[in-house]
Amino acid sequence: MRCSVGVQALPILGLLLVLGIHRCEAIVHHKFVIQETPYTRLCSTKSILTVNGQLPGPTLYAHKGDTIIVDVYNKAKYNITIHWHGVKQPRNPWHDGPEYITQCPIKPGGKFRQNVTFSLEEGTLWWHAHSDWSRATVYGAIIIYPKNGTSYAFAKPHADVPIILGEWWKQDIFAIYDEFQQTGGDPNVSDAYLINGQPGDLYPCSKQDTFRLAVEYGKTYLLRLINAALQDILFFAIADHQVTVVGTDASYTKPLKVDYITISPGQTIDLLLEANQPNDHYYMAARVYSSAAGVAYDNTTTTALIQYKGRYTPSSPPHLPYLPYYNDTAASVNFTGRLRSLASGDHPVPITVPQTVKHKFLFTVSVNTFPCANDSCAGPNGSRLAASVNNISFVSPSIDILQAYYYHIKGVYGTRFPSKPPLKFDFTAEYLPLALETPRKGTEVKVLEYNATVEIVFQGTNLVAGTDHPMHLHGTSFYVVGWGFGNFDKKKDPKRYNLVDPPLQNTIAVPKNGWAAVRLQFFNPGVWFMHCHLERHLSWGMEMAFIVENGPTPDTQMFPPPSDMPLC
């Protein structure tokens, strides 16, 4: 039970307490059992990790301002952690989830109780495993409704529909991961993409199980689109229907009417679908946006069906919507670059865009290589593929950084994460010296004072192969104030920043051989992970963490650790 006391300042203490008890509200509890479950897709069966046997896992529902409690039981044979992606978890990094950053994994047979506290978020988020590649099948939607008594930033939709894009391998994902770790090359690409756990009828053996959305003509539906794929940015569209984007990463946007969407792994996009077309059924579809030259990709297309209620006479067979070509970078940025937040009106964004910042960081995000004994690895020229931020390829510590920070345990991490790249070079040049390709290994964090105002410019490089990097930050969202191709120009580019209505996101795809600038205020004390949300890049070391120090008052300080933190 959670009790709230003292909303009205009543003079008599006794009465106030009585009132307080009357205001107790039951906190919703959920039970997540991680287990191995047989699933059949693409004509073959394998055992996958699930929550409660479900793929996608259970949807969590909350109102803005709620706290829910999830008891995670690990009944599988792998270590696991669960992350509430995009949930800020104010003052409570203990329950954020990334393994060896804020907690040790929950071991087989173990249990961990996590609070999920919704503060500023409203819209759609999701949860996923944050250990090795188990998030391949361990994920689900989070729907955050407006506070009771307040309304959406748009007319209330007729219904909400999570649309979760996923990725499926016929082989065991742990075998794919182990092989990827051993060979040092690119991982095997997936065999299918999924919509709400189903590949759709362009693949063998999935016609029966294609996801179908029944709609009524004249009604408007809120599609809560989530990219839960491990390795791919995706294009998504619905045949013959334009959709209106109204939010991203649980923050409202100005309505944007589009024919297709680009969505990064980690990102969520809320869109309104008006059921206003004459036929009985229409395809929705998703396929890859893959920008790295020479890197294999899954070129398949996943589909689901929109079925108009009451129209059962088959008209012409449904056709596929237009989706941009797999390497159409212009189409990708065209969508992403048009998002704008609601800066005024009914839903003002509570934390305003920092007009000036105290810290300015330039972080290069690169794919790299390490030499491999006898050139025997599967990366370019027998090397082992790697990745880095500011030329540091992150090495996971053996106990979590949060614990080491809180208990002053030395030797777990360093505090010298550089504010700029160690070497200035033409980051996006077509040819770069091979000597620049090898990063250094380290476990470095950046320590910031409470409430620090920060600008981070993510600069993609063309080392090994330029590609997009969807960078994701835990604990705080950021405003995406600018982006461009080529090298960031610190004199010219800031003049073009949007400091008026930039979108508030937790994940931003840094365009291939380009840059993206974000601004934010770190008002949440704790240890917060920042990483590329392409799982192979994360495994190669494209990540770092921020430590945000406690503020001066009790309510600007981290909570003490819960008593059931998993041990390493």
Ligand X SMILES: *[C@@H]1O[C@H](CO)[C@@H](O)[C@H](O)[C@H]1NC(C)=O
- By beta-carbon proximity to ligand X, the closer residue of 280 and 468 is 468
Return the residue matching tokens 């070391």. 541
- In angstroms, give the least distance from the CB of 152 to ligand X: 15
Judged on CB neighbours under 10 Å (0-12, 13-18, 19+), 352 is: exposed
- Interacting span for Cu ion (CB under 5 A) from 37-45, 67-75, 239-247, 469-477: 469-477
374 binds ligand X (CB under 6 A): yes
Contacts of 544 (CB under 8 A, 6+ apart): 363, 389, 390, 392, 394, 417, 444, 445, 446, 530, 531
253 and 289 Cβ atoms separated by less than 8 Å: no
Contacts of 182 (CB under 8 A, 6+ apart): none
- Interacting span for ligand X (CB under 6 A) from 134-142, 228-236, 277-285, 331-339: 331-339
Look at residue 85 and give the partner it binds from ligand X, Cu ion, none, a contact being a CB closer than 5 to 8 Å depending on partner kind. Cu ion
Measured CA to CA in angstroms, residue 227 lies from 18, 136, 184, 296, 486 at distances of 47, 11, 26, 20, 27
Look at residue 255 and give the partner it binds from ligand X, Cu ion, none, a contact being a CB closer than 5 to 8 Å depending on partner kind. none
Peptide bond preceding 187: is omega within 30 degrees of 0, i.e. cis? Answer: no
Closest-approach residue to Cu ion (CB):
85
Return the residue matching tokens 């009585």. 18
Tell me, residue by residue from 199 to 218, as one string, x for binding to ligand X by CB under 6 A and - for no binding.
Answer: --------------------
- In angstroms, give the least distance from the CB of 82 to ligand X: 15
- Interacting span for ligand X (CB under 6 A) from 227-235, 249-257, 271-279, 327-335: 327-335
115 binds ligand X (CB under 6 A): yes
94 and 402 Cβ atoms separated by less than 8 Å: yes
Look at residue 361 and give the partner it binds from ligand X, Cu ion, none, a contact being a CB closer than 5 to 8 Å depending on partner kind. none
Binding ligand X by CB under 6 A: which of 451, 498, 550, 557? 451
What is the dihedral sign for C-alpha 303, 164, 504, 362? negative
Strand partners, 414: 444
- By beta-carbon proximity to Cu ion, the closer residue of 507 and 521 is 507
Distance CA(81)–CA(96), nearest Å, equals: 9
Distance CA(438)–CA(435), nearest Å, equals: 7
- By beta-carbon proximity to Cu ion, the closer residue of 88 and 472 is 472
231 and 188 Cβ atoms separated by less than 8 Å: no
Look at residue 279 and give the partner it binds from Cu ion, ligand X, none, a contact being a CB closer than 5 to 8 Å depending on partner kind. none
- H-state helical runs in 161-261: 173-183
414 binds ligand X (CB under 6 A): no
Distance CA(568)–CA(566), nearest Å, equals: 7
381 binds ligand X (CB under 6 A): yes
Q: What is the SS3 assignment for 288?
A: strand
428 binds ligand X (CB under 6 A): no
Binding Cu ion by CB under 5 A: which of 46, 85, 91, 347? 85
176 binds ligand X (CB under 6 A): yes
119 binds ligand X (CB under 6 A): no
Residue 159's nearest CA partner among 255, 273, 52, 80 is 273
Measured CA to CA in angstroms, residue 516 lies from 335, 337, 363, 365, 424 at distances of 15, 10, 10, 11, 18
Look at residue 9 and give the partner it binds from ligand X, Cu ion, none, a contact being a CB closer than 5 to 8 Å depending on partner kind. none
Binding ligand X by CB under 6 A: which of 310, 408, 435, 554? 435
175 binds ligand X (CB under 6 A): yes
Strand partners, 270: 224, 247
Closest-approach residue to ligand X (CB):
380
Residue 201's nearest CA partner among 102, 100, 320, 118 is 320
Interacting positions 221-280 with ligand X (CB under 6 A): none
- Interacting span for ligand X (CB under 6 A) from 373-381, 410-418, 488-496, 539-547: 373-381
Q: What is the SS3 assignment for 497?
A: coil
Positions in the binding site for Cu ion (CB under 5 A): 85, 472
Which residues of this protein are in contact with ligand X, per CB under 6 A? 2, 27, 67, 79, 92, 94, 104-105, 107, 115, 148, 171, 175-176, 179, 188, 299, 327, 329, 334, 337-338, 351, 373-374, 376, 380-381, 391, 422-423, 434-436, 438-440, 451, 464, 521, 523, 551-552, 556, 559, 562, 568
